[in-house]
Structure 1
C-alpha cells in the first residue's frame, strides 16, 4: 500500500553517491498523484544535476521476477510506478567502496539515485509491478560493452532475496554473471589535461603522478586548432583542464600573432565550452591578470574586464565563454613560474654571468608557481568547491619585477644592488611591445575560503632558485 503525504526527503546510503528519496504522494478515492521527478526540488536536496535524456519503463507480470546485477556507464534515477520491488545495489566502481551493498524495498512513494558503475538488481514483490528510470545517456548496443555485471547469488554480497532465487524468475544471462572476485571494477571517468607539455601542464603531471584516471595531452595528442581533436567519446570523461594558451604577449600585437591568439585563446576555448556543456563535464580554464588594466591595486574575481592589449582581450573573451558552462572553474593567475623558460630563470642566468640588468620597477604583483596552481586546480576538482572564478597566485607582499630580480640575485649569492630599476615606459621605449597592467596583485580570499592556501611567494622563490638549473 502506498504511503501518502510524506515530505520530500533524501537519505544517504552506505554506497557513496547512492541516495534514497521519499516522495510526496497525494491520494484520494480516485487513486494517487506524485511528482516523480522535479528538478528544482531535487537539486535543492543535493541530487546531482545529472541531465536525464531517456525515460524507460520495466513492466513485470509476476512477483519474483528478478533482474540484475547490472552496472551501467551512466547515472539512473529509479522510481516505482505501481506495485513493490526489492532493490539491491552493489558498488562495482574501482575504489575503496567496491563491493559495498545496499538493499531496500521501494513502493511508488520512493525513488533512488544510482551513479554510474553501481550495480542494480530488482525483484518484484507483487504481480503487475512496473518501475521507471531516467538515464543521462542514450542506450546503444555499443554501450552494453561497457557494462559491469555481478552474479545475483554472489556469496560475498550475500543479498537476502525476499523470494529465494531458486523460486524466482531469472534470465539465463543473469545466472551466468561472475562472482565478485572475478569482476573487473568499472574505472572512473577520466580527467583530460590539455597543454600537458607547458609549464603548468608539467606541474599537473607531477600533481597527478600515478593517477590512472588522468590523461595528459600535449599539442601532438590534442591540437586545439584542429576540429578533429574534439571528436572523441566524451562520455568517458568527467573534466577537462585547459592548461594550453597562446601567451606571447608582444607577438599577439602583430597581425599573425593576433590571429593565433584569437584562435587558441577564444575559438578553441569556445569548442571546449561546447563539449563541456553538451556532455556535463567540468571545464577548468586558466585565466590571467592581463584581463585587467592594472589601475586597481588588488583585483577581485568580480572586477569588470578592462584588458589593455590583444593577449588580455583574448583571455577576457575566453573567460566570458567559459563562464556560461554550467560546471566550470576559471583559475585566474599571474606571473607564472614553472619548469621552462621564465623570468626567474632568466635573472638567475644573468646573475651567473655577472650581468647587471635594468628591470621594470613599477609593475607590482605576486609570482604564481605552477606547483601551487596545479595543486589548487586539483583541490577545486576534488573538493567539489562551488563553480566559478578563483584568483590563484602565491601569497606574501606584492613586489615589483625589479624587487623579485634583486631577490634572485641575492639567492644566487650576488648583490641585490646589481639590479637597477626602470619604469615600464622607459624600458619599452622604441620597442614593439604590448601594454602591461601596472598592478597585478590578486585577492586570494575566495580560494582560501574554498580550503586552499597557496604557498608563500618568497619561500617558493628560494626553493625554486636553489633547485632550478640556469636557463
Structure 2
C-alpha cells in the first residue's frame, strides 16, 4: 500500500517513515514540491506518486503565532485540506486528516469523546476544526484523527525544549493547571498505519472521526517534572520546576484547561492503543540524552 504523506520534516511525517517498513510504502512530500500554501502543487504530486491513500500530516502549528496571521492559518489548516479532499475524492482514494485536541475549549472535567461538541478558543483550533469539516465535506472516504501534545526525537516539542532550557537554567516555571495527554509521535504513526491496514482490508473506515492520544493525564508541570527526573537519573540536564497557574504565564492564545482525549473508540475499531505517557517520555528522554541505560 502506497501512502503519500504531506511534509518531510515534521514529527509525524518522520515517524511514519520510520514505522512503515513492512507495513506500507511511505512517500514523504513537502515544499517546494507540495506546498500547503500553494494548492496548484497538489494535483501534480498526486498524479506523479499515484498513492493508495493520503495522510495530511503537515500543518501550521504555531499556536501563538497564528493569532497574528489568521489568514495564513486558515490557508494551511483549512483550505489546503479542502483541496486535498477534493482531489483525493476525484482520484477515488481515502484521505486521513490529522487534527488536534485544541478544537475543544477545555471546560469539561473528563476526557473528550468524539461526540463532544468542539468550541475552539484559538485561531489554531478554529482553523484545524475548519480543516476537519472541509475534509468531511470533500471526501466521503475520510478519516479525521485528533491527537494531543505530540513529542518525539524529531522536530520541536516540549521535551526537547525542556532539556535545552535545563542546560542553561537551574530553575523553570511551568504551567500546572492545563491538562492533556502527551503522545509519542511513533505511537501516533503506528495507530495511523493500523487504521490504514484496516481500510485496506475493509475498503473503508468504521467511522470518520477518532481520538488517538497517549494514555494517562498530565499537566505541563507533571510532564516537565518527569522529564527532569529521568534526565537527572541518567546524568543529563535537569532543573527545579516551579508550578505556576495559567494566569502567571500569559500567552497570546488561550489554551484549554483540559484537553484530554478519550481514545477508546480507536482502540475498539483498530485494535491499537498508544503507550502510557510516563513510559514513553522516559524512553524518549533516555534517547535524547544519549544514554544507553533503559
RMSD: 2.0
In the TM superposition, residue 207 of structure 1 has moved relative to its aligned partner by 1.2
Aligned match of 2:179: 364
| Greater fraction of residues in strand | 1
Q: Is the 8 A contact 1:194 1:217 kept in 2?
A: yes
Q: Work out which of the two has the higher radius of gyration on C-alpha atoms and give 1 or 2.
A: 1
Aligned match of 2:62: 248
Aligned match of 1:337: 151
In the TM superposition, residue 307 of structure 1 has moved relative to its aligned partner by 0.4
In the TM superposition, residue 469 of structure 1 has moved relative to its aligned partner by 4.5
**TM-score (normalizing by structure 1):** 0.56
> Is residue 189 of structure 2 the alignment partner of residue 374 of structure 1?
yes
Aligned match of 1:38: none
| The one of 282, 287, 290 aligned to 2:94 | 282
Correspondence 1:6-405 to 2 at 5 A: 190-209=2-21, 213-232=25-44, 233=47, 236-254=50-68, 257-297=69-109, 298-324=111-137, 325-338=139-152, 339-384=154-199, 385-396=205-216, 398-405=217-224
Equivalent pairs counted in the alignment come to: 276
> Is residue 263 of structure 2 the alignment partner of residue 444 of structure 1?
yes
Q: Is the 8 A contact 1:351 1:412 kept in 2?
A: no
My pick for the range that moved more, 310-319 or 230-239, is 230-239
**TM-score (normalizing by structure 2):** 0.88
Q: Give me the whole-angstrom Cα distance separating, in 1, the residues matched to 2:238 and 2:287.
A: 20
Aligned match of 1:16: none
Look up the SS of the partner of 1:419 in the other structure: strand
Q: Give me the whole-angstrom Cα distance separating, in 2, the residues matched to 1:216 and 1:437.
A: 32
In the TM superposition, residue 237 of structure 1 has moved relative to its aligned partner by 2.2
Q: Is the 8 A contact 2:93 2:141 kept in 1?
A: yes
Which structure is higher in RCO with an 8 Å CA cutoff and minimum separation 6?
A: 2
Q: Is the 8 A contact 1:235 1:279 kept in 2?
A: no
Q: Give me the whole-angstrom Cα distance separating, in 1, the residues matched to 2:149 and 2:161.
A: 14
Q: Is the 8 A contact 1:327 1:387 kept in 2?
A: no
Aligned match of 2:248: 426
Q: Is the 8 A contact 2:172 2:239 kept in 1?
A: no
**What residue ranges of structure 1 are gaps of 5+ in the alignment?**
1-187
Q: Give me the whole-angstrom Cα distance separating, in 2, the residues matched to 1:242 and 1:304.
A: 23
Look up the SS of the partner of 1:411 in the other structure: helix
**What residue ranges of structure 2 are gaps of 5+ in the alignment?**
200-204
Q: Is the 8 A contact 2:170 2:239 kept in 1?
A: no
> Is residue 277 of structure 2 the alignment partner of residue 463 of structure 1?
no
